[in-house]
């Protein structure tokens, strides 16, 4: 919710969606943000699709009826995407982040990315961008999860190989030190 209590739109990057899929927790992600309009991009969908052969659970992330897929194919959308590609650099590596950031900018949404360098760049250009731990901490602050729930989710996500700045057992201290609890 925003400060006015209104739900804000979210645009998800590949890392969050893929690790929730690998942990078989996409239903939890949806339940936490059911009041929000959730988006991802066609570029992110293609990144997920590219990993399905190695990780069949990613197929679940391709078939989510609660995610609006932003194609970014109008001239304004393509220009915004090209600008974010330039800002993020290394175009072949950051296309997903660039697509998420451009969609978030155009929609006035919160971008969800766990790529710390991309997050720094996004914030430098005035974008509201946060990571998975922010999402979980918001859900905890909103009373949708307990700290124990968050700790268990963090451990499940880390078990899939997701790199997060803390383990489940470190979460409470980490979140408090970052003003998230």
92-101 burial, b at 16+ Cβ within 10 Å, e below that, comes to eebbbbbbbb
Average pLDDT of the chain, as a whole number:
94
User: 181 falls in which pLDDT band (50, 70, 90)?
Assistant: confident
Q: What domains are defined for the chain?
A: 10-130 (3.40.50.1010), 133-177 (no CATH)
Question: What percent of the chain is modeled with pLDDT above 90?
Answer: 92
pLDDT at 89: 87
- Mean pLDDT, rounded, for 15-30: 97
Q: What is the DSSP-derived secondary structure letter of residue 94?
A: S
Quote the Cα angle for 127-131-137, to 5°: 115
Quote the pLDDT of residue 5: 59
CA distance 171 to 137: 10
pTM over 0.75: yes
Cβ atoms within 10 A of the Cβ of 45, count? 21
C-alpha 175: how far from chain center: 18
Nearest to 112 by CA among 1, 7, 5, 16: 16
Per residue in 77-107, pLDDT tens?
A: 999 999 999 999 866 778 999 999 999 999 9
Q: What is the mean pLDDT of residues 128-132?
A: 97
What is the per-residue pLDDT across 156-173, written as a single tens digit (0 to 9) for each? 999 999 999 999 999 999
What does the pLDDT average to over 24-34? 96
């Amino acid at each position: 919710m925003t400060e006015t209590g209104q739900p804000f739109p979210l645009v998800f990057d590949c890392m969050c969606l893929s690790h929730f899929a690998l942990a078989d927790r996409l239903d939890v992600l949806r339940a936490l943000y059911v009041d929000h309009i959730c988006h991802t991009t066609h570029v992110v969908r293609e990144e997920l699709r590219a990993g399905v052969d190695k990780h069949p659970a990613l197929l679940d992330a391709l078939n989510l009826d609660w995610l609006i897929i932003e194609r970014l194919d109008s001239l304004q959308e393509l220009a915004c995407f090209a600008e974010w590609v330039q800002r993020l650099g290394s175009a072949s590596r950051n296309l997903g982040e660039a697509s998420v950031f451009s969609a978030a900018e155009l929609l006035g949404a919160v971008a969800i990315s766990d790529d710390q360098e991309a997050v720094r760049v996004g914030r430098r250009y005035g974008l509201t961008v946060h990571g998975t731990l922010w999402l979980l901490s918001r859900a905890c602050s909103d009373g949708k999860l307990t700290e124990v729930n968050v700790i268990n989710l963090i451990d499940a996500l880390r078990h899939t190989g997701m790199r997060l700045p803390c383990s489940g057992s470190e979460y409470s201290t980490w979140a408090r030190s970052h003003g998230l609890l």
